[in-house]
Structure formats: C-alpha cells, structure tokens
Structure 1
Amino acid sequence: MTDLAPLRRALLSVSDKTGLVRLGKALSERGVELLSTGGSAKTLREAGLDVRDVAEVTGFPEMMDGRVKTLHPMVHGGLLALRDNADHVAAMEQHGIGPIDLLVVNLYPFEETVAKGADYDTCIENIDIGGPAMIRAAAKNHAFVSVVVDVEDYQPLLDELDANDGQTTYEFRQRLALTAYARTGAYDAAVSGWMAQALGEKTPRRRAFAGTLAQTLRYGENPHQSAAFYKDGSSRPGVATATQHQGKELSYNNINDTDAAFELVSEYPTEDGPACAIIKHANPCGVAQGPTLREAYMRAFDCDRTSAFGGIIALNQPLDGETAEEIAKIFTEVVIAPGADDDAKAIFAAKKNLRLLTTDGLASPGAPALAFKQVSGGLLVQDKDNGQVNVTDLRVVTKRAPTDREMSDMLFAWKVAKHVKSNAIVYVKDGATVGVGAGQMSRVDSCRIAARKSQDMAAELGLDAPLTQGSVVASDAFFPFADGLLTAAEAGATAVIQPGGSMRDDDVIAAADEAGLAMVLTGMRHFRH
C-alpha cells in the first residue's frame, strides 16, 4: 500500500441529489470515469456528462423495483480488491472487474420517512440495502478507495484531489472511512430503534444510539473535559433544533441548562397564557404565569433574583420588546422562546453576550422519547418522564379539601417539581414559584432551604411576611416523616401535593389535619437525579 491512491473511476449512487451535478462535472474534468445508477445516472446525463450505467458493468439490469442493482461481484470486487495483492489483481483481470477508486453514496431517506409518519410498509421500503453494503466494502478497503457519504465532503474531496495531483492521501481516506462507518451505524440504529417502537419492544436485547455532530464545544462541564454536541435527528422543538439569532456559541452547560428551561416551560401550553421559567444549573430558580409575558418574567424573577443572575430564561410565547427590555436589565446567558419580534431582537442586539434562540413551537411534554445515562460499563435507559396529572387524578386525604386557588397552584407546583433535582420541594402562590429547594439528601432540608430563600427574597422586596405565606407546596416524592410537611406549614403553606406511598402516610396525614392543611396525593412521583 502506498500513501497516495489515484482516482480514475468513481461510482456515484445517491438518494439526495444535492451537489451531484457539480461533483460529477468536477470529477469528469479531472479525467475520472463515472459509473452510476438509476436516478443519479439520469441527473448526470441531463447535465451533459458521460456516464456508464452500473447495469452495463454488471451485465444485469436493475430489478425488483430497484432492490437489486449493485449487489454484484463486478461492483464489490471493484471496491474490495487489494491493488497490491497479486491474487486479487489476477482475479480482477480474469473476470473483467475494473477497480472503483471512489464511492459516493447517500442512503435511502429512512429517517425522513419515519419522521413524516409513514406507515410500516413504506418505512420498510425505505431501508437501503445495497448502499450500506457498498459503503462498508469501500470503507474497509480505504487503503485504496475513498468513500463519501455526506454532501459536506464533496468539496473537501475535490480540494484533496487538487492538492495531490488527482490522488488522495491515506489519512484522508481513513477519515472518510470513519465517517462512513458512523453513517451506516447511525442508519442501522435508526432502523432498529424504529422497529423496536413499531413492535412495542420496550427492552430489545441490543440497543443502539447515534447522533450527528452539531458543534465541537470548547470544553465540557469543566475546562479539563473535552466535549461535543450531537443531534439525534428529531424534529421536536428544543435547543437542538432552535435557531440562534445572536451571541457566541453555546457552551456545554448552556445547552444542558437551556434544554432544562425549555422542557419546563413547555409544560405550560401557549393557549393557557404567558409563562416563564428561569433556570440555573439545570434547576428552576423561578417559574411563573402572568397576564403578559413581561409580568410572567417579573414574577419568576422575583422568586430568586440572586440566582436568576447569569441564568437561562425560557418563554412559552414569542418574545416581545417589552419583555426583552426587562430581561436586558440583568445579565442573562440564554433566552429561548417559540419566536421573537423585531423589537425584541433590536433590544437584545446591544447585549453581545446574550444568546437568543427561537424554536417555532413548544416541546410536547407527552411525546414518547428515551432518556439514557452512562454508568461504568453500560447505559441506563428509560422512558422520558412524561408523567402528568390533572384534578381527576388527585385524591384528597385530609379533612379539609383544597380551595380552587390552592388546587390550581398545586397543579402548577407539581409541574415545576417534576423538573427540580431530587429531593425537590416547590412552594407556589398565585401561579408563581415563591421558594424552590433542590438536590438535597434530606427532604426536610429542601423544605428549609426553600423557605429560607423565600424569607431572603421577601426582605429584598421589602415585604413584611415571607413569600411562602399562604402558598402551596409540592414534593416530588412522599414525605417519609411529618417533619418536612410541618416545616412547610411553619413557612406558611396551606396545602400540599405529594405522591404518597410512605409507610407513615397515616402519620403525615394526621399531622396535616392537625395543622389545618389540605393535602392531595398524586400516586405518581417525579424523582430526578
């Protein structure tokens, strides 16, 4: 094997014709013989290029609706033959197999077909067979063959040929082969993932995940960690599909926190009125609804102004100028919303360090998805927490039933608690958080921290009573003892929403009755680790 490999013959067979004619012309001008199939050959011929049909090379026509066209020794022999192996060269000469030095293939649009909601049989027909087989063959023989699977690599290929007098370097072919194997791996992962979903298979024996590089990050959670951002191809609105209008590139922590913020604010549909979530270190420090977007933001901000500094803001309605003007008064890392008007964009334009993202919609909290976490030697995989409750799901267990206002606030608080790291305690009053306790090893400590932050915020706002006075409280899991519940009552909470299920539920209910609290059980918990 030599480092440089000449490129004399190329096979082009693509589903996505973007850039095909330009590439074909550039190769033809460099004296490369073009082989092609079906629609690709037609496109190249219509552009005036001399193209030889693969069917002519193999001696067999395309058949079975195109299912069989490249699965032939004349093709795979040309891709797999070792040019420096005498036996391989002799076999090629004996059987009239010409070497193929370049393979350009992009696969049937299986992922796009699934995304459009096509039926089972249509999806099956869009599973490419010959393409992956050729890609894998060419990639294996990268000692001599270049394989291109992405339109983005057309120009780098031409630049490589120009730099090396019509040849490619071994290092270049290695990198192309790496991309090729990742593409076939991702393709198979998409097919197997779709089939598992179509068959209702929750725990298939083998599970594959794949992504496409969206951004190489400066570092991960900390500067000594390398990191990158990959997209999984989903069209679901969110940070991965958002348009960034201004500001420097998002960091690892920005992406993580922005995702947390947008997933939380998406719990509040646009038609239910304006809502705002402010996130710091993946935990909400303020969430609120209001009659206007500006007021929703201000109410969320007033839950914890200190933590909101340098935070992430998510809105459930398009950002307007009035709200943007208020947000611009403090340093904010990212604002994400379904849209933004010209006034808002103009106001933020003066904030060079602020990133504005728009998504053209909210994420659907109930849409099925998988969540996974790496552990040493493996992956933990589960359904995304799409659990939701409404009034009819709740069970009143205290002597006093909640008022309509308390019930509304409890349902609001329950949605927020779902997005707070465990142990999670959330105080809410009049559709706004007034205290959040997150990530503590003891539930009672979360109750105390949230109450203390409420007192501090009341003092900053010049109020005589803590914000939690007259609030409701949500707990993401049951109260193992009555101490946490009593701490919430001391803070001024009048009603409680929690899953129930503790061995001491009766003791906790009795304590709630003695304190005059209303309490409802959801029968569902929201651990978030």
Structure 2
Amino acid sequence: MRALISVSDKTGIVELAKELVSLGVEIISTGGTYGKLKEAGIPAIEVSELTGFPECLDGRVKTLHPAVHAGLLAMRSNPSHMKQLADLNIETIDIVVVNLYPFKATILKDGVTRLEAVENIDIGGPTMLRSAAKNYQDVAVVVDPRDYDKVLSELKQTNEISLDTKFYLMQKVFMHTSSYDTMIADYLKKERNDKELPETLTMTFEKVQDMRYGENPHQAAAFYREIGKKKGSITDAVQLNGKELSFNNINDTNGALELLKEFKEPTVVASKHGNPCGVGSADNIYGAWKKAFGADKVSIFGGIVVANREITLEVAQEMKEIFLEVVVAPSFEKAALELLQTKKNIRLLELKDIEVPQDENAYDLKKVNGGLIVQTIDSKLLNEEDLKVVTYRVPTDKEMEDLRFAWKVVKFVKSNGIALAKDKQSVGIGPGQVNRIWATKQSIEHAAELINENATKGAVLASDAFFPFDDCVEAAHKAGITAIIQPGGANRDEDSIKKCNEYGIAMVFTGMRHFKH
C-alpha cells in the first residue's frame, strides 16, 4: 500500500505518517512536507523520484504527471487499466493526504497584493484530490486533518479503509474543492469591482456552530459566516456572557444592527421578532436607552437591544431589571459588565466596529422552492436631491429632524410598515400588515396603549411605500400627527396631498421606497 502526502496545513502530519509507516505503508511526498517527514526520521520517497522528472517553475509543477495520476485513476477492477499500468511500469497509489495552499489565509492578510493571492492558488493539489476522489472505490483521499484518526483506526482494525468511509471522504473532497474555487472566484470578482449579478452564482460559507434548533424546535439549524473580514457584523462579535446564540437570536440581532447602523448619534434599538419595537436617539446613551425602552415597555420583554455607544452602569442597572435575550454594544463599562453578568442567561456581545456599514455590494438572499432570489442589499436611505415637499406647509426644522428619524426606522419595519416618531423617539410602529391603513391604525393604537393617549400629538409618520388612498392621512390627522414622509408615486397621490393641505399636515416625498418582506 502506498500513500501520497502533500499538505500546507501540517497539523498532525508527522504522527499520521509514523503510524502509516508502522502499518507497512510506503510514503511518497513533495516539497516542504517531504522535508518535514525526513526531518522527523520518517522514510519517504520524493515525488520527483517517482516521476523521474524534477520539480520545476519554482515548484509550480510537481505532481502533474502520469506516474501520479495514472496511479490514482486506475480502476483496480478493470483488467485493461491494470495491464496499462504494468506496461508503463506505474504503481498504484492507495491513499492521498492533501490539503491546499492557504488561499483564505493569504487574502485575509492586511495589505495582500493580487500577485500574492494568485500565487496561492493551488493547481496540483486540487487536481490530485479530484483524481483520487473520482476513483474513491480504490483510493482513500483525506483532505481534513480531523479525519486522520478515523482512517488510522480502520487500517489498524481491518488493514483497509471501508468503502463507506472512502465515499464519505470523497464527499468532503468535492465540498472542499468547491469552496476553495468559490473563494477564488469571489476574490477575483471583488478585485475587479464587478457589480453585476453573475450568470452563475456560487457562494461559500464556513460553519461557526451547530444550533440546538432553528426557528422552531423541530427544525435543524447551523450558523455560517462569510469568508473574509466582516467588521461590524454579528459574526465579528465577541460573546461575554450567556448561553450560545439561537437561530432567532442571530436573525433578530442582525436586523437590529442593520437599523442601528443608520444612526451616528447615541442610539439604542430594541427589536423583537425581526421588527424594531423601540428606537431612541439622544445626546448620550442613557438618554437613548430611556427613549427606546419608553417607546414599548411591553414588547421589549425577551427582546434584543443594540447600542452604538458603551453601555454604562446607569444603563445596565435598568437593563438588569427586565428580561432581555441579547445586548450588543461596542463596549461595556467594567461595572456594567459585572452587573449584567450576574444574569447568567443574558447574552452580552461586544462588537467593537458596530458602526461599520454593510458592503453595499453584498447580496440579500431568499430561498424559494426550487430556486433562489438574489438582490443587492438595501444600502441607501434616500437621495437628498429627491426630497420634495408636496404640500403648502413646509415641515419645521424639528419636524424634519423627526421625519428623518422615522424614515430610518420604517426602512427596517416589515411591509406594510408605518413608524411614528417624536423627539427622536419611536412612539408607534405598525409592521407587516396586509394593507397600509391597518398598519397606520396599529401604530397609532399602540402609541396610545404603550405610551399615553397624547403620544401621537405633534408626532410625525413615515411609510415605507406610497399611500394608495387618503385614508392614512385621515387617520394621521385624527391622531394629531403633523408631518408625513413617504415615497410618493401612487396614482392617487393628489388625494393624499389635498387631504394634507386640508388639515395643515406637511408631506415630504422621498422618491425611494423600502419594502422589507
């Protein structure tokens, strides 16, 4: 039995080779791996001795030779194949242990050049892996050091590797080479600054953790992250306390973080089931917390809280009194952290680059039965030059400040969505209704129920899409709302504008909608 060993990640390779030799396996090796085995006193044949051809082109060509690939691809059960090997004086190779040039580690380095990245694209390694995996009935191919023990255990017990294990190893090879090639393609796309949606879409992610379950206990789930530097995302956060994050924790926290990134001033966002339930901005984080909490003291129970400033002891003292699932902030005062850590189940996440915006070229993916719909993320808020006051009355400076605040909030409310705001605080949110008037009425009713009956007096209203009728303006007037921001573009825009003029409500069109389904 012969094994070809050529690895970039040399974890456990000396121990594996020693065990293989003790089992009577002859070792063939290349380059740095050959040197490491020889240094450890392990007998090995250099691949150039096998091929009768020296390595060349600075090691770019080592294993691309019939003496290697015929030995891998020959089907032992095919007499014609075996006769050809004998005629060519080529011996079979039964085990391949290969992992690839560190392309991922290279592109993650600061200041990496294109030349460095391209030089770390492995050619011979994937070719050997694919050859060996194609002939999995006869060749065991190991790409993951975590499988070394499995292979050795079977060899020691039966002097062979089972067909089932070979098939398992084959699957891992093609998953590995697929991911490797996808990383390269993704790097080249970014290097070219190619913004087009590709004709064929391949993506690769690496597992962070398995989860207890998905959205519901009967659904399996795992958490994966994109390969690359993703500052400001939940994958970059450091957990300081609490149980591991659940599927719903991660989904809800991500939504809250997306909204938080729209704000520069001290801001707190409370979220529940993918929708904001309380948002507040102030001169300091305590003031922002008071507004976010005060906006909806009921829904925040068991919710997610994210903040773009350090959590102070003053904030932590109030947070401790309610049940929160997750708190995310760029940092925690020492005393605040110690206090919150007395609640063993609260998940505390430190995300230092919490303000870093999402890559505007990132994809938003939704799985549908039999396919995938893909779009670039909704990275824009509005275009200033497109803002248009369409009523006789122009919003005051204070109203305009609140309109901008409400527009940021409603962007992240599930459609049909309505957000009410006053004094840079959300006072009513109506998410996910099947018509806009229901969302409007819901936001007004919740403001009266959760804050007070005067909460909407002097407030502003933001709608994620246009008003098809003037009924939302009618409801806003009855609630005491004084200004509205919406995309405009309905056939009956004029009806809503006339109604606003009748009631003295200022209305601003953005020319941009923010559906969130």
Match in the other structure for 2:93: 100
Which amino acid letter does the alignment assign opposite residue 477 of structure 2? Answer: A
Change (3 A) 1:201 1:97: farther
Does residue 354 of structure 2 align to residue 337 of structure 1?
no
TM (norm. structure 2) is: 0.91
| Structure 1 gaps, min length 5 | 1-7, 460-464
Change (3 A) 1:78 1:283: same
Tell me, in whole angstroms, the C-alpha distance in 1 between the residues paired with 2:89 and 2:46. 16
Match in the other structure for 2:276: 284
Tell me, in whole angstroms, the C-alpha distance in 2 between the residues paired with 1:10 and 1:51. 10
Match in the other structure for 2:298: 306
Change (3 A) 1:44 1:384: farther
Match in the other structure for 1:424: 417
| 8 Å contact kept, 1:368–1:384 | yes
Match in the other structure for 2:350: 358
Match in the other structure for 2:512: 524
Match in the other structure for 2:428: 435
Match in the other structure for 2:70: 77
| 8 Å contact kept, 1:334–1:355 | yes
Structure 1 vs Structure 2: percent identity of aligned residues?
A: 46
Which deviates more from structure 2 when the two are superposed, residues 328-337 or residues 113-122?
Answer: 113-122
460, 463, 471: which one pairs with 1:472?
460
Tell me, in whole angstroms, the C-alpha distance in 1 between the residues paired with 2:335 and 2:197. 49
Aligned residues: 513
Change (3 A) 1:71 1:324: farther
Which amino acid letter does the alignment assign opposite residue 129 of structure 1? Answer: I
Does residue 194 of structure 2 align to residue 206 of structure 1?
no
Tell me, in whole angstroms, the C-alpha distance in 1 between the residues paired with 2:43 and 2:14. 12
Match in the other structure for 1:297: 289
Change (3 A) 1:434 1:151: farther
Does residue 248 of structure 2 align to residue 253 of structure 1?
yes
Which deviates more from structure 2 when the two are superposed, residues 256-265 or residues 318-327?
Answer: 318-327
Tell me, in whole angstroms, the C-alpha distance in 2 between the residues paired with 1:435 and 1:210. 40
Tell me, in whole angstroms, the C-alpha distance in 2 between the residues paired with 1:317 and 1:487. 36
Match in the other structure for 2:167: 174
Other structure's SS at 2:316 match? helix
Does residue 136 of structure 2 align to residue 142 of structure 1?
yes
Match in the other structure for 2:314: 322
Change (3 A) 1:193 1:498: same
Match in the other structure for 1:239: 234
Tell me, in whole angstroms, the C-alpha distance in 2 between the residues paired with 1:76 and 1:113. 28
Does residue 211 of structure 2 align to residue 223 of structure 1?
no
Tell me, in whole angstroms, the C-alpha distance in 2 between the residues paired with 1:18 and 1:267. 44
Which deviates more from structure 2 when the two are superposed, residues 139-148 or residues 153-162?
Answer: 153-162
| 8 Å contact kept, 1:196–1:202 | no
Which amino acid letter does the alignment assign opposite residue 294 of structure 2? Answer: D
Change (3 A) 1:47 1:347: farther
Tell me, in whole angstroms, the C-alpha distance in 2 between the residues paired with 1:376 and 1:319. 43
Which amino acid letter does the alignment assign opposite residue 369 of structure 1? Answer: A
Other structure's SS at 1:98 match? coil
1:271-294 CA deviation, whole Å, 9 max, x = no partner? x33221111111111111223323
Which amino acid letter does the alignment assign opposite residue 184 of structure 2? Answer: V
| Structure 2 gaps, min length 5 | none
| 8 Å contact kept, 1:294–1:326 | no
How much has 1:446 moved relative to structure 2? 0.7
| 8 Å contact kept, 2:204–2:227 | no
How much has 1:154 moved relative to structure 2? 4.1
447, 450, 455: which one pairs with 2:443?
450
Which deviates more from structure 2 when the two are superposed, residues 496-505 or residues 246-255?
Answer: 246-255
Tell me, in whole angstroms, the C-alpha distance in 2 between the residues paired with 1:170 and 1:324. 58
1:290-327 CA deviation, whole Å, 9 max, x = no partner? 23323322211111111111111112233343323322
How much has 1:20 moved relative to structure 2? 4.1
Other structure's SS at 1:306 match? coil
How much has 1:25 moved relative to structure 2? 4.8
Which amino acid letter does the alignment assign opposite residue 277 of structure 1? Answer: V
Match in the other structure for 1:34: 27
Q: Describe how 1:150-169 pairs up with structure 2 within 5 A.
A: 150-158=144-152, 161=155, 164=157, 167-169=160-162
Which amino acid letter does the alignment assign opposite residue 515 of structure 1? Answer: Y
Q: What RMSD in Å do the two structures reach over aligned CA positions?
A: 2.6
